Chains A and B, each alone.
Chain A
Amino acid sequence: MSQEWNIVVCVKQVPDADDVSIDPDTGTLNRSDAEAVLNQPDYNAVESALQLREAVGGTVTAVTMGPPFATAVLQEAVALGADDGVLLTDRAFGGSDTWPTSLALASIAEELDADVVICGEESTDSSTGQVPPGIAAHNDWSQLTYVEELEPNPEENELIAVRDIEGGHEKVAASLPVVVAVGFGLNEPRIAGLHRKIYAETEFEPQEYSASDLGIEESVGLAASPTSVGGMATADPVERKRKLVEDVETLFEELESAGAI
């Protein structure tokens, strides 16, 4: 039964979290001067994909959806060891929320005949965590989210995962094709080798797909998104007393009189 696996790893370009500022006048996010980087949890996803390929054989294809400059994150994945990269790029994708985004990724996963789709747990910019289960649901595939450990079982055509759950863990075996969301920090991502890096930056060209290539042009973008942003505000900072105390005795008294202990 054992065969090589088509492994797809979904990666996302996000503004560097440390660079995003809020315009104090308008309350809107200023992302324009933020450097775009590979979503940090996706490093764990890429590493998982590479380890899986090492264990069962096959290929790793990195996929991203975004404007042409999002190729940068595919280059990053290829530099780390991905065999190939696919860029889903089309104005039609603009404004997609999690429903059409997961549809686009589900469609390319099907197109690439994926056995395993690996994603990071969530993205650092929108952090919904809903795209991986969305991909699985669109294709009616199995899913493994909040994965802390991952082990292939090629004889049975399945992946076995330990999932983090509240107060414990569970061990689940999922049949291929499967969509996996790996926990942030699940492994130690490798460093890109110099040769791979040069290849990624000079020779590598992503395959490009538009929405119509995937036959989903009517089902993506802002108009196909069930949700919309109805407003953005700076988070109300929680009012704190900000009382600096000199010694432990005073701290204890303050806490006692506030009823905190």
Chain B
Amino acid sequence: MPGEVDTADYADVWVFIEQHDGEAAKVSWELLAKGRELADEKGERLVALVMGESVTHLAEEAIERGADEVLVAEDPIFEPYLPGPYGEQFRYLVEERHPDVVLIGGSHTGRDFAGRVAVPTYAGLTADCTELDIEPDTGLLLAKRPTFGGDAMATIKCVEHRPQMATVRPGVFDAAEPDPDREGTITEVEVVVDESHQHSRMIERVVGDITDITDANVVVAGGYGTEGDFGPIEDLAAALGGEVAATREAVEEGWIEAARQVGQTGKTVKPDLYIACGISGAIQHLEGMNDSKTIVAINDDPNAPIFDDADYGIVGDLFEVCPALTELIEQKRGETA
């Protein structure tokens, strides 16, 4: 049985660079910035891992963004992502090179993949972390994650097994700017997978048909209070150059697509401005919006819990408040233009 490891044999912080069609997921750069901090604290190296075909540009960018070394597994089998080949290659690299900490984006791809790594290597995996620290005395990774719909924060440790793995959702950490003068090494690694590891095949992959709300600077979200009319929400979002989002309630009613749902079972957003319209403020919804810089609540019920979690609140009918705000923004913009 695997699992008995000498933890002293394990060193370095690894970050998985998730890429699709040669484009890196932003969360990977966010993790690289956080990984740099953790590696410095541990006095170890930061290693980025890239799998795919024609991905040298990503390896170079990983160095510019903080990696000391980039391991590149280059092969057509890694295009597009499938859990079988990715998991098997990663397992091999972990067993060969013994990383102490492995960070993976908490995207749907990353969370699909993380279990495929953690199981065969008998690693400790903490999913969906929102904070990562190093315990000063032990050097252990302290992986913190919300639990019970965000009511509590649990700190998870992995004392005896390696690597210590964590997934982190997009938008939790800030990416560092690339520094073209940074130096590092790029290492081509042996590819150990073939078709027998595939198990599944991609029929089609369509990206770009749905907006990624996790990237937006302004998010205007509507809830059950919209009664299905998202017009005022869309207009306000357009005036602010932002994206429309929604609660689970609005998604379940079929008023808006699931990809725009914010919350525990939806996306985590981190905009500068989040405007919650006709949203009561359930804990599962708050979990996805709490990282927003400024929160505005528009609700006609003065006792709605959302007001406790907002910077600015206005008690009123969203069908009056939103259009008025939209008009004001357009008017002021017109004046300064």
A residues sitting closer than 8 Å to B (CB atoms) are 17, 20, 22, 27, 29, 41, 97-99, 102, 121-122, 124-134, 136-138, 141-146, 148, 160, 163-175, 178, 183-185, 218-219, 224, 226-238, 240-249, 251-252, 254-256, 258, 260-261
Contacts of A183 in B (CB 8 A): 258
Contact B329 A17 (CB under 8 A): no
Contact B160 A226 (CB under 8 A): yes
Say if the beta carbon of B290 comes within 8 Å of chain A: yes
Which residues in chain B, 126-156, are within 8 Å of chain A measured between CB atoms? 126-128, 142, 146-156
CA distance A121 to B82 in the complex (A): 18
CA distance A139 to B115 in the complex (A): 12
Q: Which of B120, B142, B313 contacts A244 (CB 8 A)?
A: B313
Say if the beta carbon of B124 comes within 8 Å of chain A: yes
Say if the beta carbon of B8 comes within 8 Å of chain A: no
Query: How many Å from the CB of B22 to the closest CB on chain A?
Result: 15
Contact B112 A146 (CB under 8 A): yes
Contact A228 B115 (CB under 8 A): no
Query: In the complex, which residue of chain B has the Cβ closest to the Cβ of A233?
Result: B153
Contact A243 B312 (CB under 8 A): yes
Query: How many Å from the CB of A125 to the closest CB on chain B?
Result: 7
Given A121-B265, A245-B312, check contact A144 B200 (CB 8 Å).
yes
Contacts of B114 in A (CB 8 A): 130, 133
Given A173-B201, A241-B311, check contact A168 B258 (CB 8 Å).
no
Contacts of B211 in A (CB 8 A): 167
Contact B111 A129 (CB under 8 A): yes
Contact A227 B151 (CB under 8 A): no
Say if the beta carbon of B315 comes within 8 Å of chain A: yes
Given A127-B128, A143-B112, A168-B206, check contact A230 B324 (CB 8 Å).
no
Q: Which of B107, B153, B310 contacts A242 (CB 8 A)?
A: B310
Contacts of B202 in A (CB 8 A): 170-172
Contacts of A231 in B (CB 8 A): 154-155
Contact B210 A167 (CB under 8 A): yes
Given A99-B122, A230-B156, A243-B312, check contact A17 B149 (CB 8 Å).
yes
22 intermolecular pairs with C-beta atoms under 8 Å apart: A17-B148, A20-B148, A122-B265, A128-B128, A133-B116, A143-B200, A148-B258, A163-B108, A167-B208, A169-B206, A170-B202, A174-B199, A218-B1, A226-B158, A232-B153, A232-B155, A238-B291, A248-B314, A252-B325, A254-B312, A255-B312, A260-B293
CA distance A234 to B294 in the complex (A): 22
| Interface bits B73-84 vs A (CB < 8 Å: 1, else 0) | 000000010111
Given A185-B252, A261-B329, check contact A146 B108 (CB 8 Å).
yes
Interface range on chain B (Cβ under 8 Å from partner): 35 or more
Contact A138 B1 (CB under 8 A): no
Contact A130 B118 (CB under 8 A): yes
Given A99-B118, A133-B114, A136-B116, check contact A166 B328 (CB 8 Å).
no
Q: Which of B122, B127, B205 contacts A130 (CB 8 A)?
A: B127
Query: How many Å from the CB of B23 to the closest CB on chain A?
Result: 11
Contact B259 A164 (CB under 8 A): yes
Query: How many Å from the CB of A22 to the closest CB on chain B?
Result: 6
Query: In the complex, which residue of chain A has the Cβ closest to the Cβ of B161?
Result: A226
Say if the beta carbon of B188 comes within 8 Å of chain A: no
Q: Which 9 A-B pairs have the closest CB atoms?
A: A133-B115, A226-B124, A142-B199, A137-B119, A168-B207, A226-B161, A174-B200, A128-B127, A230-B157
Q: Which of A121, A142, A164, A229 contacts B154 (CB 8 A)?
A: A229
Q: Which of A160, A233, A244, A256 contacts B314 (CB 8 A)?
A: A244
Contacts of A246 in B (CB 8 A): 314
Contact A245 B155 (CB under 8 A): no
Given A98-B125, A185-B252, A227-B157, check contact A175 B146 (CB 8 Å).
no
Say if the beta carbon of B44 comes within 8 Å of chain A: no
Given A137-B120, A240-B295, A255-B273, check contact A166 B87 (CB 8 Å).
no
Q: Which of A129, A168, A244 contacts B209 (CB 8 A)?
A: A168
CA distance A238 to B150 in the complex (A): 12
Query: How many Å from the CB of B44 to the closest CB on chain A?
Result: 20
Q: Which of A130, A142, A229 contacts B200 (CB 8 A)?
A: A142
Contacts of B311 in A (CB 8 A): 240-243, 258
